[in-house]
Chain A
């Protein structure tokens, strides 16, 4: 069973059409939730870290929120350059150490 589930798997938006990406998790002992952007053939680029339920972070057209079970990445008035795969990762304490687990990502395509 996946511990980190991202939905939808793929999302196509018209330029300017706002939407949200979801990252749900089932781990306990959450230490942090991370959002990354990954362009094709590239390594992930850090966007946000969220540590506790109720926390919000913003950067340009992106806003990340966190609850006890999930996180949302809201994209307001997206532009074609926002097209990428967005990954979330959950850091939690387990087996005496920290574990970092990634979701499979949401591939966002923004059409001009």
Chain B
């Protein structure tokens, strides 16, 4: 079955450490996105990628980095520069990011906790 897989589901990080969240999709989608969700708040865009080897900053990119070496994969690294990384992270993909008939498909999320 086609879909988006995020791993791990739960992740604990010590302060000062970098961690990488995985996102893989087998939907053959061009566009991929990373969102952060905090309790009682909506989704805030961290980074997005329209095509392989290209990505753009979203609204809250500071302290995060991404890569898009393969169409299927869009890993997110939470660096030590991110001052408040504890949150629920959601990865999404869409067929393209401007077609009117597209929609976003989401993974199950990764809950990151700094200990």
Are both chains from one complex?
no
Residues of A at the B interface (CB closer than 8 Å) are none
